[in-house]
Chain A
C-alpha cells in the first residue's frame, strides 16, 4: 500500500464524495416526506382542493430538493474532476 501525495488526495476526494452525498440526502428526504405528509393531511380535510394542494406540495418539494442536487453535483465533481 503506497500513499503518495496525489493518491492520498484522490482517496480523500472519494471519501468526501461519499460523505457529501450521504449526508446531503438526509435533509431533502425527510423534508420532502414531511411536505408530502402534510399535503395528504390537507387533502383529507379539503378533498375538492386536491389539485391546488398537489401543485403547492410539488413546488415546495422542488425547492427542498435543491440541496440534494447540490450534494449530487459536489459528489460528482469530487469523483470525476479532482
Chain B
C-alpha cells in the first residue's frame, strides 16, 4: 500500500486550490448555472449547448423525473404531472396563489404550504425546486469535472422570510452547500457594475416570469450598497400571459376550458407576447381539444390596453423604493433592466418615461443574474485575487415585527435595514400572574397583524408570576447576511430563555428535510455516505488551511499557552481527517473552531484598528 504524504508544518497541502463554486439563478420560467473560469463569469451550457434550463419538472408515472426542455415537451400531454412556475408556490399557502382556477394541478387541500398530487406522490414546491437544482448541479459537475463546494442561489429581493427559507431548503435537498442567498437585482448590479466600472446611484428594474423587484444601489469604489428595495413577489411576465389568455377566452367566447386546452391557450398567449416585442400584431390560431378553432389577432394597442394596470403596478414600488432611499428619479444615473419580461416595449417605454432616460439594455437580461451570482460565489469560496475585491451591503425588503395586544404589529426591524442586523425590543405581560407568553413573529408593512405574513409562533414559558406589566421580556431579532431571521426571547428577571430559528409556518422542519434527503439517497445511485464524508473532509481541510494562514499572519496575538492549545486542536483534526469516521471529524472540527474563537475575535479587532489608523496616516499625509 502506498505511503500517505504529509506536508511540512505550516505549509498548506493545496496552496492554490481553486474551489469549484457556482451561481444559480433559480427562475420562475428558466434557471441557469454559471461559474467563474479564468477570471471570467460564464454560463454553463448543457450537452446540447443550451444555457437556459426551463424551470419545468415532469413526474412520469413510471418514476422517471424529467427536468427542463424534455419536461416542457410533456406539458401539453400531461399537464397535471408537469409543474411549471413552481417558484410562485415557494413558501406559500393555497390561499395566497392567484389564478389557481386556471392551473391544471391537483392541489392537496389543507393548511400550510401548497402541495401537489402527482403521478409520483404528493410533492411540495421545495421538492420540485430541488429537482431543478439537482439538474443544474449535475450540469455544473459534468462541465467542471468535480464536486462543487458551494453555490450562491438568487432569490427575488422582495421574497419574504418564508420564501427565502423554502429556497434554502430546496438547495439543501439538492445536496448543495449554500454559500449565500443573493438578491436577484443585487446580482445583476454586481455583474453590471464590475463590467462597466460604474459609480453612482443605479436602479435595477427586474421583471421576471413571476416576480418584480426594484432596487436602488449606490456604487462607490468596490462597494455595492443597496439603499432601498421594493417589489411584488407575485407579479411577472406570467401575468401578462394570463391577461392575453383572458382576452382570448372573452374574444372567442369560449366556455370553461379543459386543463389541456388551458395550457395550450397559455402557451399561445406567451408566444403572442413574445412576437409583439418586434411586431405590431400577432396572429393567434389554436385548435382546441373540443375541435373548436380560435382565430384571433392581438395588436400592440390591445396588448398595451389590457396590460396597462400591470405596468403601473411596477411603478408603484419603484416610487416607494426611491422615496425610501430619499432620492428623486432624476438623481438616478442609470437603470439596469433585468428579466426576460423587460423586453416588452411597453415596459421599456414606461421605465424611460418615469426615470427620464433610456434604460440600460446592454446586458443579456436572461443571464446577468446568474453571472453576478457566480462572481459572488467565487469570492465567497475564497478564490479572490488581488485587486478584484469588492463588498456587497444588502438590505431586508420587508419590516419584521411582533404581534401585540389587539392584533397590532410592533415593528422591530424596519424594511430596508442593512443586514446583518440585530434589534431587541422589550415586551411585558398583560395579566397578573401570567407565566407564559405567545410570541407571534410577522413580516410586512401593515399595522394589522392579519394583513402581514405570519412567519412563526412560539411560546416563552416559565415566567415567574408577577403583576401585569412587571415582567420584562426581551425579544431579539437577528437577520443574517442571507436575510434569514432567528428570534430569541428572554425573561430578564429569571433569565428564562426560549430560542427558535424562525421556521416559517409554511416551511419544512429539519426532520422533514432529513427524511427527504434519506429518501432521495436511497433512490439515487450516488453513495450518500461517501459524499457526506468527502464533504466533511473538504470542510476540515478548509478549516485547517484557514487556521494555518491566520497563524502565519497573526501568531503574535496568541500567548505561548494559547498557541499550544490551537496547535493541539490542529494536530487532532489532521490526525482524524483522512479517516472514515465522520463523527470524529466533526468533533475535531468543532474543537478547533472553539479553540480559535478568541483568536478570531482578536484578529478582527486588530484588523478594524488597522482600517481606522490607515485613515489617520492619510490625514497626516495631506
Partners in one complex: no
